Amino acid sequence: MPSLSLQVRRVRPGHPAPLPLPRYETALAAGLDLRADIDEARTLQPLERLAVPTGLAIALPPGYEGQVRPRSGLALKHGITLLNSPGTIDADYRGEVHAILVNLSQEPFTVNRGDRVAQLVVVPVSTVEIQEVAVLEVTRRGEGGFGSTGR
């Protein structure tokens, strides 16, 4: 499997104690865990959302994007997921990475400093050349969408 280099900058170096850098938790994991870089615990009430800072800015290689995705354990056990999922980090973005958490459960959920709140998956992207046409190629499915192929 080819390896890429991902440059990571701590947005608040030495604040208060540095959190571990993102890492793969297993040898074949697809996502790097992102942690909450917050000063104090934050409690999300049911249906509340919060942009949680990770304390990191990254430089992706050209031709790649970072996808910020939910963690399955938080979703299943606590009803915590991400809005705008997957969130896209473009290769030219240099600001701090955030995870937009939402509490879909009926119970409050507390996020603490250092909690793993999301995962980052780095994937190749394609760019396309736009070609305007008057008619699109006909397919069997046509304009059917939103469940048109069955359950």
> Annotated binding site for substrate: which residue ranges?
71-73, 84, 88-90
Q: Is the dihedral of CA 145, 72, 26, 42 positive or negative?
A: positive
> How far is 7 from 96, CA to CA, in rounded Å?
13
> How far is 34 from 99, CA to CA, in rounded Å?
8
> Is the peptide bond prior to 86 cis by the omega test (within 30 degrees of 0)?
yes
Q: What does residue 19 show for φ and ψ, rounded to 5 degrees?
A: -80, 160
Say how many C-beta atoms besides its own lie within 10 A of residue 88's C-beta: 11
Binding-site positions read 71-73, 84, 88-90
Residue 141 burial (10 A CB sphere; 0-12, 13-18, 19+):
exposed
Q: What does residue 49 show for φ and ψ, rounded to 5 degrees?
A: -125, 155
